[in-house]
Amino acid sequence: MGNVFASSMPPPPVSLGQAGIIPDPKQISETNNQPIIKNNNPGSMEELHRKCKDVFPMTFDGSKVVVNKMLSNHFQISHNIIMSSGSMQPPGYRFGATYIGTKQLSPSEAFPIFFGEIDPNGNLNSRIIHLMGERVRMNIAAQFQNSKCVASQLITDYLAPDYTASMALSNIDLVRNSGLTVVSYLQNVTNKLSMGAEMVCQYNSNVAHSILSVAGRYTSPDNYIVSGTINNNSVQLCYYQKKNEYLQVGVQVETNLTEPDSTASFGYQIDLPKSNFVFRGLVDTNWNVGCVFEKKLLPLPFTLMFSGTINHLKAQTRVGLGLYVG
C-alpha cells in the first residue's frame, strides 16, 4: 500500500538505539515497517517483498549532505541539502524534525512518532504513526504545496498474532466523490507460508476501477524467501537469500500483462562490519547497472556515500556523492 501515496514522501526516522535515535537511512525504512506484534505476525501486504527490495541500492545523482542532530533521546532535527539535476531527487534544502514518544515496546520501537520536513518555499511533508492499544497501528501522512494539501493518506493496520488486516484511504475528496481505497489481508497458513489478498479501488464521480491481487510468501529455514503478487494487470515475483553474514542477494521479476512487458532485476548487498563498509549493486534487463557504497569514517560521525548508475543502451551515466553526518 505504500505506492498509493506520493513517492516524494520520505519515511520518518524512527530507529532507536542505546544512545537514542540512530540516524541511518536504511534502518529507517526497515524499522518503520517491522511488525509490532512479535509472536507470529506476518506483517502487512506492503512488507511482503521488503527483504528483497532492501537489497537493491537507492541510487542518487549530484551531491547531497544530510546532517542529523539529536537534541534528546526523543527529539531529532535534520538538515538535507541536495544539489542535483532533479532527475532522481528534487534539488534544494529541507529541514526536518522528528519526535518519538515514550511508549517503547522494544529497543527499536517506540510510539507515537511525529515527523515533518519543510523546504524554504513552505512545502511540507508530515507523518504521524501511533499504536492504539496493543494491536492497532495508525499511520497518517499529508503533503502540502503552495498552502494546499496535495496528497493525504490514512493507513490502519490490525496486527493479530497470525494475521494482519489493513485499510488505506488516500486522497479522499468528499466534494468531488473521488479517492483511492486499499483493503488487504495477510494470513500465516503455516510457520513458513503466508498468503493474502489485496483490493485496490480508485473512484471518482463518473467511474470506479478496482483491482484484486492475490499474494504469497514462503520463508525457508535455509535463509531464503520467495514471494509473489499477481492480478489481472501484472505479476511480481521476488527471491531473497542471505548467503552468509557478508552477502545477501535478491532477484525481482515484474511483468506487465497489458503491454506485455517484463523486467528482471538482480541485486546484492555486501556487508563488511570490520571495515564499516556496505556495498549494494544491481543489474537489470533494461541494461541498467547501478551501485551505492557507504563507508563510515570512524571515529568521526561521518558516513561517506557514493552512487553510480549507467544505462548501456541509452549511453546515460549518473554519479552521486553524499555525506551523512550524525
Assigned C-alpha cell, 146: 503552495
Q: Which residues contact 185 (CB under 8 A, 6 or more apart)?
A: 45, 163, 164, 165, 166, 196, 197, 198
d(CA 278, CA 267): 13
Q: How far apart are CA 232 and CA 221, in angstroms?
A: 32
d(CA 276, CA 226): 30
CATH code, domain carrying 224: 2.40.160.10
| pLDDT, one tens digit for every residue, the chain (326 residues) | 444 444 344 444 433 333 333 333 333 333 333 434 456 899 999 999 999 999 999 999 999 999 999 999 899 999 999 998 766 678 899 999 999 998 887 777 889 999 999 999 999 999 999 999 889 999 999 999 988 999 999 999 999 999 999 999 999 988 888 899 999 999 999 999 999 999 999 998 788 899 999 999 999 988 999 999 999 999 999 999 999 999 999 999 999 998 889 999 999 999 999 999 999 999 999 999 999 999 999 999 999 999 999 998 898 999 999 999 98
pLDDT at 87: 67
Domain count along the chain: 1
Structural domain of 7: 2-325
Q: Helix (H, G, I), strand (E, B), or coil: what is residue 52?
A: helix
Encode pLDDT of 67-111 as tens digits.
Answer: 999 999 899 999 999 998 766 678 899 999 999 998 887 777 889
pTM of this structure: 0.83
Please tell me the number of Cα atoms within 13 Å of 160 on its side-chain side: 9
At 306, list the grid cell: 557514493
